[in-house]
Structure 1
Amino acid sequence: FLTGYLIEKSLSVDNIFVFLLIFSYFRVPPIHHHKVLFYGILGALIMRAMFIAMGITLVEKFHWIIYVFGAFLILTGIKMALEKDKEIHPERNPVLRLFRRLMPVTEEYEGSKFFVRRQGRRLMTPLFVVLLVIETTDVIFATDSIPAILAITVDPFIVYTSNVFAILGLRALYFALAGIMEMFHYLHYGLSAVLIFVGIKMLISDIYKVPIHIALGGIAGILLISVIASVVRPPRERK
């Protein structure tokens, strides 16, 4: 449970950086951040339950899928390490494009409302657009974190509860770290190393079962080193 929780929590830090970019891109007033995150997290709990159920079913019925997940995590870790700047393109979001075709969007934010009615027509506000983008972004992140937790255990109760507890603290973590995220500039290297470590663990699972305490210690150690390195060598100020 602790290992799964630590994996999900550490990868959630990367989510926070992307959420900051999304809020900045759409110029969301800070007063509305908490509402979007609340409903975004609520939707994430439902979507992750579906992902976990599918993932566990695949692992139990097709054992070889473990190797696919392992290779995927290693490739994702390498890609994360090579990416210097994370770029997002909300306007390319397929779910957002679909909703804009089905329902018109108001030009301005309407307070904290997701929908408004004008001249008998139901309109979507930009705040709901932001919620859609955050929700689909979380689904993309789940494709990394859930296979990583399945490398530790396939017990559905442990997998889901570790996800739930990690996600429930995401909103508080967002407001705590939003202003200091740039300090931990080496953290994404630590996260990539965690994904590669877990991916290797999955690939060698039939040859050697890595003990839970070693997996937990390894993940915690990698993250701690990346945070300490960020503090010891602060980022250079851009001119």
Structure 2
Amino acid sequence: MISIGTPLLWTQFLVFVLIALAIDFLALNRQGSHTVSMREATIWTLVWVAVSSLFVGWLWWYLGGTGPDPISRELADAKALEFITGYLVEKALAVDNIFVFLMIFTYFAVPSAFQKRVLMIGILGALVLRAIMIFIGAWLISQFHWIMYVFGAFLLFTGIKMWWAAGQEPDLGNNPALRWIQRHMKLSPNYDDEKFFTVTDGVKMATPLFVVILLIGIVDLVFAVDSIPAIFAITTDPFIVLTSNVFAILGLRAMYFLLAGMHERFHLLSYGLAIVLGFIGIKMLLIDIYKVPIVWSLGFTITTLAVTMLLSLRIPARTGKAGTAFPFSPKRDDGSTEEK
């Protein structure tokens, strides 16, 4: 499999990400547990978008004839476009991910001051998981070309399933993973600051925060299964696949707090994501018959998402059904409880 990822490029990318994570962690530790304001979320979202833009700009410069190890301007243009398209697709899919996070936080009445650290842990887990799955996917594609048809069929099926489920209220209470956790772990009904385990009446129990971490990890896995094939439909270069994924995930925490209060406004966005996934699935199924230009994929994705977001603002949302209640009502940081 052809890739622009030289040992030097991989090293530079790794250093870049580690520095970005270190800055993010330093800011998190200095601020401590606190409720993230809309202003803070907006600033950090813009920072991560700027960082991603700087990276793709640097990559384009590095490959395009003016960097220290030039290859060609044509290749630089192609790779930059692949990165931007992949980044946009992953960002779009991350929005659906964010709405599921919001449902989990609301269901477990997670205090807003704790959500920031929980998301940071979830993002680290997602980075490791995506890297592993991307390299496995790249190896499979290099060894078995027909796996592209499997990915395409899976994405088409996922798009149809997402369209069918759009607008329906998820029933977290009947989620198999949550029911398994309830059966196999002793769960405390109360939060104990940001601890994952606590002792109640001499018995060690998992706090609701630990359950939330587990569920977010499962959500990361499920969404990775959808998004990894989607990015391989845009490019099979492991370097572009991984870098676009990583930069899309790095800004996930800030984007969550920015969009958490807007999920009802963009209630039709899931339909747009379903259309995008279906389009990408068909694109993969036709890969040996007709290769859809990257520019077309980028234009289709932007147009579809923009149209569904505009329609969301014009068409009122339907009221969904409430999910099944959790067997206990976690206490908030002010000591009160929220009945589900």
**TM-score between the two structures when normalised by the length of structure 1:** 0.91
How is 1:189-204 mapped onto 2 (pairs within 5 angstroms)? 189-204=271-286
Aligned with 1:127 (options 209, 213, 216): 209
Aligned with 1:97 (options 156, 171, 180): 180
Corresponding position of 1:50: 132
Matched, 1:113 2:195: yes
Corresponding position of 1:169: 251
Deviation (angstroms), 1:128? 1.1
Corresponding position of 1:2: 84
Aligned residues: 237
Q: Note closer, same or farther for the CA distance 1:208–1:104 as it changes in structure 2 (3 Å cut).
A: same
Superposed CA RMSD: 2.1
Residues 182-220 of structure 1 show CA distances to partners (whole Å, capped at 9, x for unaligned) of 111211110000001100110111111111111111111
Amino acid paired to 1:186: L
Please, which moves more after superposition, 173-182 or 77-86? 77-86
Residues 39-94 of structure 1 show CA distances to partners (whole Å, capped at 9, x for unaligned) of 01111101111111111111111110111110111111111111131414366444
Corresponding position of 1:158: 240
Residues 83-107 of structure 1 show CA distances to partners (whole Å, capped at 9, x for unaligned) of 1314143664448736963x53333
Corresponding position of 1:206: 288
Instruction: Find the structure with the greater CA-based Rg.
Output: 2
- Asked whether the 8 Å contact 1:91–1:97 carries over to 2, the reply is no
1:236 and 1:58 map into 2 onto residues whose CA distance is 42
Q: Note closer, same or farther for the CA distance 1:225–1:161 as it changes in structure 2 (3 Å cut).
A: same
Deviation (angstroms), 1:142? 0.9
Identity %: 54
- Asked whether the 8 Å contact 1:90–1:133 carries over to 2, the reply is no
2:318 and 2:171 map into 1 onto residues whose CA distance is 23
1:81 and 1:31 map into 2 onto residues whose CA distance is 34
1:64 and 1:159 map into 2 onto residues whose CA distance is 19
**TM-score between the two structures when normalised by the length of structure 2:** 0.65
Aligned with 2:96 (options 5, 10, 14): 14
Gaps (5+ residues) in structure 1?
Answer: none
Which structure exhibits the higher relative contact order, with contacts defined as CA atoms closer than 8 Å and separated by 6 or more residues? 1
Residues 99-125 of structure 1 show CA distances to partners (whole Å, capped at 9, x for unaligned) of 963x53333110111234679875432
Deviation (angstroms), 1:168? 0.9
Matched, 1:77 2:159: yes
2:301 and 2:274 map into 1 onto residues whose CA distance is 11
Amino acid paired to 1:231: L
Corresponding position of 1:220: 302
